Structure 1
Amino acid sequence: MSNDVYQLIAIILYMAAMLFIGWYSFRRTANLTDYMLGGRSLGPAVTALSAGAADMSGWLLMGLPGAIYLHGLGEAWIAVGLTIGAYLNWLLVAPRLRAYTQVSNDSITIPSYLENRLKDKSRLLRIASGIIILVFFTFYVSSGMVAGGKFFLSSFGLNYHAGLLIVSAVVIAYTLFGGFLAVSYTDFVQGLIMFLALLLVPIVGVFITGGIPETTATIREVNPDLLSLVKGVTVVGVISSVAWGLGYFGQPHIIVRFMAIKSVKETKSARRIGIGWMILSLFGAIATALVGIAYYHQNANVELVDAETVFISLGQIIFHPFIAGIMLAAVLAAVMSTISSQLIVTSSALIEDLYKAVIKTDASDKQYVFLGRMAVLVVSLIAMALAWPNKESILKLVSFAWAGFGGAFGPIIILSLYWRKITAAGALWGMVAGAITVGVWGNIKALSDMLYEIVPGFAICLIVTVVVSLLTYRPNKEINKEFSEALDLLEKER
């Protein structure tokens, strides 16, 4: 059999496994809470790895290695910021959000949590949250589809658009039918595949390039600055990269996992598993890029067409075609896990936070689940239309959407969990100000080149939320009671 056939068999087996998990989850989905939040039944390992896989996306196996391959370790500051941000998110947000969403009317989405937490009777906060999720997640889903198209183009020489359609069709199928459980279970499996692949490629690759000393010497021949964390970067550049960590506090597709875990107590185990997975995976992605620099310099006759495919190309060179196929499945896993997570949260925003809030509240659970599935389909088609031209880099699309959520939701989530005086008006104006700041800043090249848009977005959101909350605060017995109940539940379950 040819190499492509072996690799194709591995990819088909992987996709079949994902569809089977979707079918299994479909059998376990009985109502809207099951479809949107898995009945709050996730264990710590599934929660941790599904959050990690949903978080990292094609950026981990394509965007980050590509950036380091081209520009060196100066690009690794993003990984540093993300690790710090993820740890603080697990430590500060996860336990409190799990407790508070249970106490506050058993909220199953971020917009419904904010409405219930702040007792917003106008529904404006929920509607604004839903719209922001819709807008930025459409860009985010689109980035995953671009990665899927690039994957099939670089791996099999398949037409970009055919690859985009294949990835989209499979991920839409298991998300549409299986809902949150399918997304979480597939993300868990995908997280394991990504983890093993990211360790194997650089470990085996470094032997091919002559060991660590020889590999390092080769990279220095290419450009010694590639091994420096500080050469070629500015203080503002480092701040922009590390600031990626701020985004964690406002990513709906990640923090929704905190709401779905079985208990507050299990967030501690999940944190340890999740951060361990993340550190090793990021290290593997960085090492893959460095090994790639050495390999392609030593083998000048072998051409790397697209830097963002260095992981895929090395996997195909190093391993037996079937094992290389599993490596390829790891890239698909990264891409598909994030697309599916974002689709289910977007579906939740459309149905739970916009349709139910604005149009209709008396439909049956069966009708809502059907509408949730239709929402997945509609958002997918729009994202596919955005991804079709293949004009934007994966990292650019991801960075804009990541900043949008971090700037719009991050400060509000933190304040809602730790500050009794935050008000609905403060949260609404802060959210809108943060989202607009990111949208404007991110689309003015001179500004976005100078400083990553999440920094001004997060700062403006925080300042506006605090100032407006102080101006509009009125004591509310129900809010104070729930705040105390959430703290009591937190202590009890810990």
Structure 2
Amino acid sequence: MSEQAFQLIAIAVYLAAMLAIGYFAYKRTNNIDDYMLAGRGLKPGVAALSAGASDMSGWLLMGLPGAIYLNGLIEAWIAIGLTVGAWLNWKFVAPRLRSYTEVAQNAITIPSFFEKRLKDNSHFLRIAASLIILAFFTFYVSSGMVAAGKFFESSFGWNYFTGMFIVVGITLLYTLFGGFLGATLTDVAQGLLMFAALIAVPIVAVIQMGNMGDFTTKLTEINPDALNLFSSFNGTNGLLAAVAIFSTAAWGLGYFGQPHIIVRFMALRTPSEAKTARRIGIGWMALTAIGAITTALVGIVYFAGNPAKEIKDEETVFLLLSQIFFHPFVAGLVLAAVLAAIMSTMSSQLIVCSSALVEDLYNIAGKKLTPKREVALGRSGVLVVAVVASLLALNRDSSILDLVGFAWAGFGAAFGPIVLLSLYWRKLTSTGALAGMITGAVVVFVWGNITPLHDAMYEIVPGFLLNLLVAVVVSRMTYKHNETIEAEFSAMEKEVSENAPYVAETV
């Protein structure tokens, strides 16, 4: 049997397992709450692994190794910023959001939480948040589709579009029918597979190439700055270098506003379980990030020493190394981890898009549907977003990291400050939240598409700060005391303090 046949069998086994999990979830999905939030019944480990897997996507196994392979450890500031941001998100956002979304009339989506938390009867805030979700997630889902096409093209020599549509089709199947529970359970399996692959590939590769001392010597001979986190200071203005590092690490700001991640907080069984979930999630994230970075550094040494083995696309360095150092069937399982990263993120994002279409746009029009009709409409929303994202992904030259970066900045800048203010500031108003949210989204769209500005500073920074400023200023101008808001805010604080005393005091 050929190497490619072994690999395809392994991938087929993985894909079949994902469909089986989707069917399992389908049998347990009866209404829109089940479809969108799994009945708020996630255990800490499930929530942590599903959040991590849906967060990382193809960026972790393709985008990050590709950036490190090209530029060295200076690109690791993205991973550092993300790990810090994720820790802060689990500690300061998770317990309060889990409590407040239930206290605020059982909100099951981020847009509905904003509306119910701020008592916005106009629905403008909810509609604006939903439209932002649909706009930026279309780019985000498209990045996964591009990664899928590149995966099959690089690994098996298939046509880019064939590979893309196979992955899209299978992801759609288990997402359409399994809903949030299907996406979450597949995320857990995919997160464990990603973890195993990112630990195994660099360890086996380094052993095959010699001991760690030999490896680091060769690496620094090839690129003296490969292991230098501060290489941007070499020969440049110190202030500009510091700005560049801050801009890269600022990816961590995005965590507070990512709907597909923080929805896992809302689905926890209790606010107090956020602490356990945080430890599991951050441990998983730190180890997988180290594995991805090490894989890229191994690739620098290996391909420099083997000029006959050409690497055409730096974002495929993880795929190529797994094929070189493992038995074909094992390599197939490692390759399946890349699909796991891609599919876990796509499924989670499609569910959030579906909720925005059904729960936050259709239902506020006052339409009354049966539970089965609501779920059917949710599935239709998944399909619509997938079709639009597929059209964007037809451009195979799109950079995975660029697509992810733009969408990540959009959510971080539009939603991040509003989430934090909603949870920690009683005087936030619906007008202030709407003004800040629109400001953040517009700044990202404009800044991110003007090359000199984008090159000087990642667009999430100005978008986040201006959103925060506008939201606070407008809220102070429009604030009116509301007894219901005060009572719900106090109820949230009381529940969180009773169950999780480690959470910081309100500001």
Q: Does 1:296 align with 2:277?
A: no
Separation of aligned partners in 2, 1:340 and 1:468: 36
Question: Pairwise mapping of residues 24-43 of structure 1 onto structure 2 (< 5 A)?
Answer: 24-43=24-43
Query: Which is worse superposed, 298-307 or 275-284?
Result: 298-307
Per-residue Cα deviation, 1:259-308 (whole angstroms, up to 9, x for no partner)? 00111121111000000000000000000000111111122221111110
Question: Pairwise mapping of residues 393-404 of structure 1 onto structure 2 (< 5 A)?
Answer: 393-404=399-410
- Which residue matches 1:135? 135
- TM-superposed deviation, 1:491: 2.4
Aligned 8 A contact 1:23 1:177 in 2:
yes
Q: Does 1:74 align with 2:74?
A: yes
Q: Percent identity?
A: 61
Separation of aligned partners in 2, 1:449 and 1:355: 39
Separation of aligned partners in 1, 2:270 and 2:189: 22
Separation of aligned partners in 2, 1:209 and 1:164: 33
- Which residue matches 2:376? 370
Separation of aligned partners in 1, 2:223 and 2:134: 43
- Which consecutive residues of structure 1, in runs of 5 or more, have no partner in the other structure? none
- Which residue matches 1:83? 83
- Which residue matches 1:335? 342
Per-residue Cα deviation, 1:371-390 (whole angstroms, up to 9, x for no partner)? 10001001000000000121
1:69 maps to a residue whose letter is: Y
- Which residue matches 1:23? 23
**Pick aligned residue for 1:256 from 260, 263, 267:** 263
- Which residue matches 1:3? 3
- Which consecutive residues of structure 2, in runs of 5 or more, have no partner in the other structure? 234-240, 501-507
List structure 1 runs of 4+ shifted beyond 6 angstroms: none
Separation of aligned partners in 2, 1:163 and 1:26: 26
Separation of aligned partners in 2, 1:64 and 1:209: 22
1:377 maps to a residue whose letter is: L
- Which residue matches 1:126? 126
2:491 maps to a residue whose letter is: E
- Which residue matches 1:107? 107
Aligned 8 A contact 1:35 1:179 in 2:
yes
Per-residue Cα deviation, 1:119-175 (whole angstroms, up to 9, x for no partner)? 000000000000000000000000000000000000100000000100000001000
Query: Which is worse superposed, 231-240 or 195-204?
Result: 231-240
**Pick aligned residue for 1:470 from 476, 486, 489:** 476
1:54 maps to a residue whose letter is: S
Separation of aligned partners in 1, 2:366 and 2:272: 37
- TM-superposed deviation, 1:391: 2.6
TM-score, normalised by the number of residues in structure 2: 0.96
Per-residue Cα deviation, 1:84-121 (whole angstroms, up to 9, x for no partner)? 10000000000000000010000000000000000000
**Pick aligned residue for 1:440 from 423, 446, 456:** 446
Query: What SS does the aligned partner of 1:227 have?
Result: coil
- Which residue matches 2:363? 356
Separation of aligned partners in 2, 1:153 and 1:46: 32
- TM-superposed deviation, 1:492: 3.0
Separation of aligned partners in 2, 1:227 and 1:183: 37
1:444 maps to a residue whose letter is: I
Query: What SS does the aligned partner of 1:226 have?
Result: coil
- Which residue matches 1:324? 331
Separation of aligned partners in 2, 1:442 and 1:99: 35
- Which residue matches 2:164? 164
- TM-superposed deviation, 1:360: 3.8
- Which residue matches 1:265? 272
Question: Pairwise mapping of residues 384-395 of structure 1 onto structure 2 (< 5 A)?
Answer: 384-395=390-401
Aligned 8 A contact 1:408 1:458 in 2:
yes
Separation of aligned partners in 2, 1:489 and 1:366: 33
- Which residue matches 2:320? 313
- TM-superposed deviation, 1:366: 1.2
Query: Which is worse superposed, 235-244 or 81-90?
Result: 235-244
Question: Pairwise mapping of residues 47-62 of structure 1 onto structure 2 (< 5 A)?
Answer: 47-62=47-62
- TM-superposed deviation, 1:335: 0.3
Aligned 8 A contact 1:146 1:394 in 2:
yes
Aligned 8 A contact 1:139 1:401 in 2:
yes
- TM-superposed deviation, 1:222: 1.3
Separation of aligned partners in 2, 1:366 and 1:310: 45
Separation of aligned partners in 2, 1:431 and 1:361: 27
Aligned 8 A contact 1:209 1:294 in 2:
no
1:466 maps to a residue whose letter is: V
Aligned 8 A contact 1:61 1:334 in 2:
yes
Separation of aligned partners in 1, 2:282 and 2:40: 22
- TM-superposed deviation, 1:355: 0.9
Aligned 8 A contact 1:218 1:298 in 2:
no
Separation of aligned partners in 2, 1:15 and 1:439: 36
- TM-superposed deviation, 1:241: 0.8
Q: Does 1:206 align with 2:206?
A: yes
Output the aligned Cα RMSD: 0.7
Question: Pairwise mapping of residues 181-220 of structure 1 onto structure 2 (< 5 A)?
Answer: 181-220=181-220
1:452 maps to a residue whose letter is: Y
**Pick aligned residue for 1:430 from 408, 424, 436:** 436
Aligned 8 A contact 1:218 1:297 in 2:
no
Query: What SS does the aligned partner of 2:125 have?
Result: helix
Aligned 8 A contact 1:194 1:334 in 2:
yes
Per-residue Cα deviation, 1:228-262 (whole angstroms, up to 9, x for no partner)? 11113621210111100000000000000000011
Query: What SS does the aligned partner of 1:108 have?
Result: coil
2:431 maps to a residue whose letter is: A
Per-residue Cα deviation, 1:214-236 (whole angstroms, up to 9, x for no partner)? 11111112110122111136212
